[in-house]
Amino acid sequence: MTRDLMCLLCPNGCHLTCDLKPEGAFQVQGNRCDKGLLFVKSVLHEHSLKTLKVVSAQARPRYSEDVLKEILGFWGISFKKSCPSLIPDGSPERTLFRLVIEDEKGERFVLEQIPPTAFHVKMKIVKTLDFLSTKGLSKIVPYRAGPGDQYIQTYKEGLWQAVPFSPGVTLERSTYLYEGWRAGVLADFLIDLHAQSKDIPFFSYDETFSIKAYVYTLMAQIHKRESKIAPLAQSVVAFLEQDFMNIYDTLPLGFCHGDYHPLNIIWTKDHIQAVIDWEFLGIKPEIYDVANMVGCLGMEHPSSLTADLVVNFIQQLKTADIFSSVSWKYLLEFIVAMRFAWLSEWLRKDDREMIALELEYMDLLISNREALLAAWKISV
């Protein structure tokens, strides 16, 4: 018995192959974290979850307790026990190893091993979160510093970091899109981030990510390698070229999280516990995080684009008056342009179903532009 599934428990969207082995266990391939195993358990409902055994086919690194104690000692953390049943939120693919541990005081931390190529990005994240924390920004979790303010420690040529573990509740994927109360806390965080990051160091306004350049670079690859979808993708670019591409380089800039959406947030039952996954942080057009959030919600289900969460989120940010009128004017175009980053991801994974769905979503946004702007109370 073989089942093909796509995991829905985190933004990775891993493609999972599940094979029933002779001993009665399902062996899972394609998962990049343990959430894939939990997802398989949840969908294989023909088996009792109490007796169903699901194992990963991937070889994952393991470290002895003595090694973990030695590594944690760099931060003065006294190891008591590991907590493998606790799965940290966020994308696991940017780390080589992750484990929740508990110290002698009962406090829990996420211990992570990172690839050497990620050092500079991780240090920028570490320093940014530390800066924002000192400014008073809440709902973030700064990394643990060791002696001499060394956040990343070296152990036998491996690079390690530690961050307090933040427990949360799992989003109910079928309902959260329509829960209007989330609009307020999502907007409040961006308002606070805007206020506390105005004088942030480490970043240059002369070196910004350009979604315009990204779209044109991707289109060159699509014309070369994906002739079947090239006409559809080019029609989207034609829409953007009517006005958006011409004014893009004049859009006001600001510091952005870079991947702000509900699955990169640790939630409590009624609030935000922590905003995580800052790998794409930096100076970008100021409306970037708004466009990413709204675009991701709409991709989950287009009906959410005119429901309370999206509408109230936009209205509360407009009321705060932290973004310029020109940024709001081109919000929909920005959402469409940013979907090319997701299209690139589906192309990388050769996920034909998601490629088609992404292009369909872009067309839906374009075709319903006037109705969506009206629902969002944005005048152009």
Model pLDDT, residue 46: 46
**Cβ contacts of residue 377 below 8 Å, gap of 6+?**
314, 315, 318
Average pLDDT value for the chain? 89
Q: Which residues pair with 16 in a beta bridge?
A: 5
pLDDT at 138 over 90: yes
User: Which residue's structure tokens are 């990510």?
Assistant: 209
Q: Which fold has domain 176-375?
A: Aminoglycoside 3'-phosphotransferase; Chain: A, domain 2 (3.90.1200)
| Res. 102: pLDDT tops 50 | yes
| Sign of CA pseudo-dihedral 136, 137, 138, 140 | negative
How far, in whole angstroms, is CA 1 from its chain's centroid?
A: 33
What proportion of the chain, given as a percentage, has pLDDT over 90?
72
Q: List, for residues 287-298, the tens digit of each pLDDT value.
A: 999 999 999 999
* Whole-number pLDDT of residue 8: 67
pLDDT tens track for 107-118: 999 999 999 989
| pLDDT attached to residue 38 | 72
CATH dotted code for 65-164: 3.30.200.20
Q: Which residues pair with 131 in a beta bridge?
A: none
Beta strands in 36-85 (DSSP E): 54-56, 79-82
Lowest mean pLDDT among 91-95, 154-158, 328-332: 91-95
Specify the long-range contacts of residues 267-273, CB closer than 8 Å, at least 24 apart. Answer: 267/168, 267/169, 267/171, 268/168, 268/169, 269/169, 270/181, 271/185, 272/139, 272/185, 272/186, 272/189, 273/139, 273/166, 273/167, 273/168
For 259-271, what is the mean pLDDT?
93
Cα–Cα distance for residue pair 178/145, rounded to 1 Å: 39
**Confidence bin at 49 (pLDDT 50/70/90):** very low
- The amino acid sitting at 39 is F
Q: Walk across the sheet containing 108-114 and list its strands.
A: 79-82, 97-103, 108-114, 158-164, 153-155
Q: How confident is the model at residue 278 (pLDDT cuts 50, 70, 90)?
A: very high
Q: What is the pLDDT of residue 48?
A: 41
173: pLDDT strictly greater than 50 = yes
Residue matched to tokens 């004017």: 329
pLDDT at 58 over 60: no
pLDDT above 50 (res 51): no
**Structure tokens given for 212:** 């315009």
Q: What 3-state class would DSSP assign to 178?
A: helix
Q: How much is the average pLDDT of 160-188?
A: 94
DSSP symbol at 285: E
Q: Is the confidence at residue 57, as pLDDT, over 80? A: no
Q: What is the pLDDT of residue 56?
A: 53
Across 16-31, b (16+ Cβ under 10 Å) vs e yields bebeeeeeeebbbebb
At which residue do the structure tokens 């006005």 appear? 243
Q: Domain spans of the chain?
A: 2-56, 65-164, 176-375
Strand partners, 158: 155
Q: What's the pTM value of the predicted model, to 2 decimals?
A: 0.83
Determine the angle formed by the axes of helices 230-241 and 211-225, rounding to 10 degrees: 150
pLDDT in the model for residue 206: 83
pLDDT band at residue 149 using 50, 70 and 90 as cut-offs: confident
